[in-house]
Amino acid sequence: MMKFSVMDTDGEARRGRLTFGRGSVDTPAFMPVGTSGSVRTVAPGEVRDSGAQIILGNTFHLMLRPGTDVIQAHGTLHNFMGWDGPILTDSGGFQVWSLADKRHISEKGVRFKSPIDGSSVFLGPEESIAVQRSLGSDVVMCFDECTTYPASVAQARESMELSMRWASRCRDAPLAPDQALFGIAQGGMYEDLRLESLKALETVGFEGYALGGLSVGEPKADMLRILKSVAPRMPSQKPRYLMGVGKPEDLLAGVGAGIDMFDCVLPTRNARNGWLYTRTGIVRLKNTTYRDDTRPSAAGCRCPACERFSRAYLRHLYVTRELLGARLCTLHNLAFFQRLMADIRESISRGRLTAFTREFMVSYAGEPRDMA
């Protein structure tokens, strides 16, 4: 069973450790996203070499293709994809929410058309938990409804209360003995609903708690407001997870509010779009200024892309659509995010997260920002 300990604090920020049967995870942690059983373009060993200790798998996509029977034939998702560390699986709720007019929500769950072949598929709390149990993930997420933005108070309450009823059903569904279940607080952009949701989850009791339904189109100020008001009031002895948020400045804001775990597709998706994250900002390879730039993507970076190749070469690969370009850019971005998290953890231990945040933002964005 998962164990969690907080070793250092700096204001609301915490440095801790998650311990699983498959290994430990230093927190605050950023989880690369392996949607369909792989972190796109790179091998599991390369993900590990970037510094990642845990990855995220996608229940929705894996249940549709290849199907849980294929994965179970290998034992677990870990065996299937060749990753020997911990895996967190999302519940499929966000993906179902993103289908918009192709889904029908009821008390039982959600019926939707498969984006693969158009067939009718049903996913509810019990079904989501059953899929995640069959995947053998180390952290299982409750099935929830992601509240649409914008939403009225009445709409947000109705959605939140449905998610809370589903959370109770998820808790009652059987899991493997070594799996941990996280509850997800919803409530849209309304602090009182978020706190009510959190209280309902605590009454049921979970091994960890998450904030969902952020970074879904709301203004950044609203996201930060909810984060600042709710995160510090999440159970202090349990891991806190901010779902789907991954811009560097948002990671810093989340850590400052007390968040322990993050995931996002930005490092890998933007790598395929020719975006390279560096401490001095984002290098966009489509810009002609990099056509003859012989410098590495980031000075001092020890990733495979920076150790051997120039910005000019990576731009050449990008504009000619060579697959190596996507691989190298992904390796760089994975390393950048893991290095950032390692530096954040060190700054917490040294009691200088606020100073580190300001220094980072001056370098990254050219100006200091109040990230609290």
The answer to whether the CB of 28 falls within 8 A of the CB of 344 is yes
Structure letter (DSSP) for residue 98: H
Nearest alpha-carbon partner for 208 in 7, 355, 3, 16: 3
β-strand 120-123 against 13-20: which pairing, if any?
Answer: unpaired
Q: Torsion angle of alpha carbons 217, 343, 8, 83, nearest 10°?
A: 70
> Residues 6 or more apart from 97 whose CB is under 8 A from it?
103, 145, 146, 148
What does the block give as tokens for 278?
């560096």
At a CB cut-off of 8 Å and minimum separation 6, what does 279 contact? 298, 360, 363, 364
Residue for token pair 């509810």: 124
Q: Which residue, among 305, 268, 328, has the nearest Cα to 40 in the 3D structure? A: 268
Residue tagged active-site, from 10, 138, 144, 263: 263
Task: Return d(Cα 351, Cα 90) in angstroms, integer.
Answer: 33
Annotated catalytic residue 263 = yes
Among 137, 161, 123, CA closest to 58? 137
Question: CA quadruple 130, 230, 4, 252: dihedral positive or negative?
Answer: positive
Please count the other Cβ atoms lying within 10 Å of the Cβ belonging to residue 336: 24
Strand order in the sheet with 120-123: 103-105, 110-113, 120-123
90 catalytic per annotation: yes
What is the distance between the alpha carbons of residues 87 and 22, in angstroms, rounded to a whole number? 9
Catalytic residue among 10, 90, 144, 260: 90
Is 189:226 a contact under the CB 8 Å cutoff?
Answer: yes
Token pair of 85, please? 């560390």
Terminal Cα-to-Cα distance of the chain (whole angstroms)? 33
Tokens of 123: 């996913």
The catalytic site residues sit at 90, 263
